[in-house]
């Protein structure tokens, strides 16, 4: 196991079965490292909102089409402009799904299932989503009215920062494992796919904020030393711990629903621009996977099978072939893993491995990670210039924020190829396809 | 006196704010201003929407955390982007009381020059310190 932030180790060392795997130390964030995995015994360990992140169930979704780059090239701008309108992004954006409070409560409980029942998607989307897009232990009574007010208008929005909706191409040269690529639905040279990166929006952020304050007080009650208030935690079995776990599940379900209704918009957009139904365009989901979440899972710890609450913050679940939680379509292949690079350099589709199960609680990295602060990136390039430069390289990008665009410039991130290579060497996931961007909506 | 600065070596994926004020009222106003300026170019925001915040806390740090979190709540709930705030902090017995008026405008993607949609205020290294000139704080926000 790799060592994480020493403060986390110190703080959590007092709890039994604490294991921290730091999958990436370059993109350093606040508190718990981004790319961190920590597992705590369900009876004697803790749960920590800081070990999950404010953007609960921030995650990735990947969708195929049967179109090639040649098919979409003449209509790329129209397509990107369509998504820029239909999938709102940026500060304070409101979504297109209008629901009342009781419907919102249903969504918190049912996640993606709520969307399918309300006409936003296909039934097959569910088994292609981590945990079927529905976490069973969600309880809306553990969510504050504030979080409910803040989130109800945001369903179907991307957010900002590094969140995006991207049109990508899988060129023949970038297929690393042809057999697996075919099984995941990528079978034609220059096939077009769509990737979405977003989370639970203000709803999850408010739940994170509310419980950070609750846990901040609970630390005293449970006599837990405070080394960094952002690392506040409470015993998993305590009332506070269980309340957060149930509220977090509501945010996770909202995030699955958010990405599900965005998928609905993507299918509508392609259908409109290409005057063909989404079914005829074979717009199947490959997978949807969370990278900011905590879940109770069974793992081998010191030779014994243990139930642990696995925290993944900026870390993706990466289960191997034959894992009982995988749906029938991916039982033999292993779980698809989606890792986002910068908007200029491309992303990867990978697959989970047995080694990840043994070494990192079935987890891998989630992205390439920043190497430069946002301000430093802005000093190097202006958003409008970057937009033009990217267009000359064949990437058409639209953003709600020009300064935000500059902050996300490719040079501000580590080389995704090196990150993926290191995961391959560590054996915790296996690359399948590299995907190159051609169109991007940046939040 | 400088109102605030952004520290770049604290959390590169996020934004660390160090704000200053001769008084606590001014410190809170300047920290809020940093949040507003990180969210949008405040020059082209009108002041036709007003929101008020009234909160209490035993600790001044908690009062600041709750005040800043409330700004983010109002931004998402009412789709308002703010330009400035007027703050009055009083000590009533053992508790601090904050009354704030926030001025701004409904978000319009075509009019406003939007920047980062700040997700949350973190407690990482969160602090308020007394200085020779008054006060300074350190607030890391998640973007």
User: What number of H helices and E strands is found in chain B?
Assistant: 2, 8
Q: Is the pLDDT of residue A262 over 70?
A: yes
Picking from A4-13, A48-57, A156-165, A371-380, which range would have the lowest pLDDT averaged per residue?
A4-13
pLDDT band at residue A253 under the 50/70/90 scheme:
very high
CB atoms within 10 A of CB A393: 11
The strand pairing partners of A129, in sequence order, are A288
End-to-end alpha carbon distance in chain B: 27
Phi, psi torsion values for A224, nearest 5 degrees: -100, 125
Residue A32 confidence (pLDDT): 75
Write out the catalytic residue numbers of A: 366
Residue A27 confidence (pLDDT): 43
Q: Which residue does chain A place closest to B74, by CA atoms?
A: A150
Residue A417 confidence (pLDDT): 93
CA distance A303 to A125: 36
β-strands A304-313, A292-301 pairing = antiparallel
CA distance A164 to A158: 7
Nearest by CB to B75, from A27, A34, A92: name it.
A92
pLDDT band at residue B27 under the 50/70/90 scheme:
very high
Residue B119, phi-psi category: left (phi > 0), alpha (psi -120 to 50), beta (remainder): alpha
User: What does chain B come to in residues?
Assistant: 143
Contact B72 A205 (CB under 8 A): yes
CA distance A47 to A31: 14
Residue A343 confidence (pLDDT): 86
Q: Is the pLDDT of residue A13 over 70?
A: no
- Residue B42 near residue B32 (C-beta atoms within 8 A): no
pLDDT band at residue A237 under the 50/70/90 scheme:
very high
* Orientation of helix B24-39 relative to helix B60-78, angle to 10°: 30
B40 in A contact zone (CB under 8 Å)? yes
Residues A4-32 have a mean pLDDT of 47
Tens-digit pLDDT profile for residues A35-84: 888 888 899 889 999 999 999 999 999 999 999 999 999 999 999 999 99
A90 in B contact zone (CB under 8 Å)? yes
Residue B8 confidence (pLDDT): 87
Tens-digit pLDDT profile for residues A161-172: 899 999 999 999
Q: Is the pLDDT of residue A6 over 90?
A: no
Contact B114 A401 (CB under 8 A): yes
Contact B12 A370 (CB under 8 A): yes
Contact A370 B126 (CB under 8 A): no
Contact B73 A216 (CB under 8 A): no
Contact B75 A209 (CB under 8 A): no
Class in CATH terms, B4-142: alpha beta
Q: Is the pLDDT of residue A212 over 70?
A: yes
3-state secondary structure of A58: coil
β-strands A429-442, A347-352 pairing = antiparallel
Q: Is the pLDDT of residue A340 over 70?
A: yes
**How many residue pairs from chains A and B have C-beta atoms closer than 8 A?**
136
CA distance B15 to B40: 14
Nearest by CB to B69, from A153, A209, A403: name it.
A209
Residue A302 confidence (pLDDT): 81
Residue A138 confidence (pLDDT): 98
* Orientation of helix A239-274 relative to helix A201-221, angle to 10°: 170
B75 in A contact zone (CB under 8 Å)? yes
pLDDT band at residue A150 under the 50/70/90 scheme:
very high
Picking from A122-136, A251-265, A323-337, A409-423, which range would have the lowest pLDDT averaged per residue?
A409-423
Contact A208 B120 (CB under 8 A): yes
Distance (Å) of CA A236 to CA A103, A218, A241, A252: 29, 12, 5, 18
- Residue A433 near residue A411 (C-beta atoms within 8 A): no
CA A83 centroid distance within chain: 20
User: DSSP per residue over A387-409, as a string?
Assistant: HHHHHHTT-EEEES-HHHHHHT-
Q: Is the pLDDT of residue A375 over 80?
A: yes
Picking from A255-264, A373-382, B26-35, which range would have the lowest pLDDT averaged per residue?
A373-382
Contacts with B, A 111-170, CB within 8 Å:
146, 149-151, 153-154, 159-161
Q: Is the pLDDT of residue A8 over 90?
A: no
CA distance A217 to A205: 19
Residues A248-252 have a mean pLDDT of 98
Rg of the Cα trace of chain B?
14
All residues at 6 or more sequence positions from A337 whose CB lies less than 8 Å from its CB, including other chains: A289, A316, A317, A318, A349, A350, A351, A352, A364, A429
Six token digits for residue A410: 């490719």
Percent of chain A residues topping a pLDDT of 70: 93
B55 in A contact zone (CB under 8 Å)? no
CA A430 centroid distance within chain: 18
Tens-digit pLDDT profile for residues B52-98: 999 999 999 999 999 999 999 999 999 999 999 999 999 999 999 99
Contacts of B15 in chain A (CB under 8 A): 374
Residues A126-136 have a mean pLDDT of 98
- Residue B20 near residue B34 (C-beta atoms within 8 A): no
Residues B110-128 have a mean pLDDT of 94
Contacts of B124 in chain A (CB under 8 A): 30-31, 228-230
A370 in B contact zone (CB under 8 Å)? yes
Residue A31 confidence (pLDDT): 65
Best residue of B123, B126, B138 to probe chain A, by most A CBs closer than 10 Å: B123
The mean pLDDT value of chain A amounts to: 91
Nearest by CB to A54, from B13, B76, B119: name it.
B119
Best residue of B4, B7, B12 to probe chain A, by most A CBs closer than 10 Å: B12
β-strands A285-290, A59-68 pairing = antiparallel
Contact A216 B123 (CB under 8 A): yes
CA distance A25 to A13: 20
Contact B39 A91 (CB under 8 A): yes
H or E, element range at A71: helix A69-72
Domains of chain A: 6-442 (3.90.1860.10)
Q: Which residue does chain B place closest to A216, by CA atoms?
A: B123
């Amino acid at each position: 196991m790799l060592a994480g932030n020493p403060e986390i180790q110190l703080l959590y060392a007092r709890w039994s079965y604490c294991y921290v795997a730091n999958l990436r130390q370059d993109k350093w964030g606040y508190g718990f490292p981004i790319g961190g995995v920590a597992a705590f015994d369900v009876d004697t360990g803790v749960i920590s909102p800081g070990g999950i992140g404010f953007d609960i169930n921030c995650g990735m979704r990947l969708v195929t089409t049967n179109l090639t780059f040649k098919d979409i090239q003449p209509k790329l701008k129209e397509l990107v402009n369509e998504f820029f309108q239909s999938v709102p992004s940026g500060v304070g954006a409101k979504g297109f799904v209008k629901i009342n409070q009781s419907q919102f409560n249903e969504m918190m409980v049912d996640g993606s299932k709520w969307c399918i029942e309300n006409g936003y998607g296909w039934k097959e989307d569910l088994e292609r989503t981590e945990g079927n897009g529905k976490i069973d232990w969600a309880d809306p009574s553990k969510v504050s009215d504030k979080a409910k007010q803040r989130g109800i208008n945001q369903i179907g929005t991307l957010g900002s920062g590094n969140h995006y909706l991207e049109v990508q191409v899988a060129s023949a040269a970038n297929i690393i494992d042809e057999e697996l690529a075919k099984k995941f639905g990528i079978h034609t040279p220059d096939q077009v796919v769509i990737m979405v990166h977003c989370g639970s929006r203000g709803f999850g952020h408010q739940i994170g904020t509310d419980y950070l304050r609750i846990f901040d007080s609970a630390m005293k009650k449970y006599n837990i030393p405070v080394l960094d208030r952002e690392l506040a935690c409470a015993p998993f079995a305590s009332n506070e711990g269980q309340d957060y776990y149930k509220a977090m599940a509501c945010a996770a379900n909202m995030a699955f629903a958010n990405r599900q209704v965005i998928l609905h918009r993507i299918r509508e957009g392609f259908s409109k621009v290409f005057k063909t139904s989404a079914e005829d365009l074979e717009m199947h989901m490959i997978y949807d996977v969370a990278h900011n979440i905590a879940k109770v899972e069974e793992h081998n710890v010191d030779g014994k099978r243990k139930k642990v609450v696995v925290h993944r913050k900026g870390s993706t679940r990466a289960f191997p072939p034959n894992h009982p939680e995988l749906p029938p379509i991916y039982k033999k292949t292993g779980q698809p893993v989606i890792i986002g690079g910068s908007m200029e350099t491309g992303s990867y589709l990978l697959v989970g491995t047995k080694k990840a199960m043994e070494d990192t609680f079935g987890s891998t990295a989630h992205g390439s990670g920043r190497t430069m602060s946002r301000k430093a990136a802005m000093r190097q390039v202006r958003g409008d210039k970057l937009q033009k430069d990217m267009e000359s390289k064949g990437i058409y990008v639209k953003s709600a924020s020009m300064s935000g665009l500059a902050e996300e410039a490719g040079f501000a991130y580590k080389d995704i190829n090196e990150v993926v290579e290191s995961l391959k060497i560590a054996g915790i996931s296996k690359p399948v396809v590299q995907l190159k961007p051609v169109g991007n909506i940046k939040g | 006196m400088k109102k605030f600065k952004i520290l770049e070596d604290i959390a590169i994926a996020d934004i660390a704010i160090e704000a200053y004020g001769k008084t606590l009222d001014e410190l809170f106003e300047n920290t809020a201003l940093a949040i507003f300026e990180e969210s949008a170019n405040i020059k082209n925001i009108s002041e036709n929407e007003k929101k008020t915040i009234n909160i209490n806390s035993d600790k001044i740090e908690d009062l600041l955390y709750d005040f800043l979190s409330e700004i983010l709540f109002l931004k998402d709930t009412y789709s308002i982007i703010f330009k400035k705030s007027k703050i009055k902090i009083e000590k009533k017995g053992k508790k601090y009381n904050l009354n704030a008026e926030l001025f701004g405008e409904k978000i319009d993607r075509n009019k406003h020059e939007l920047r980062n949609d700040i997700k949350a205020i973190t407690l990482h290294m969160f602090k308020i310190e007394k200085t020779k000139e008054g006060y300074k704080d350190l607030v890391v926000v998640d973007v």
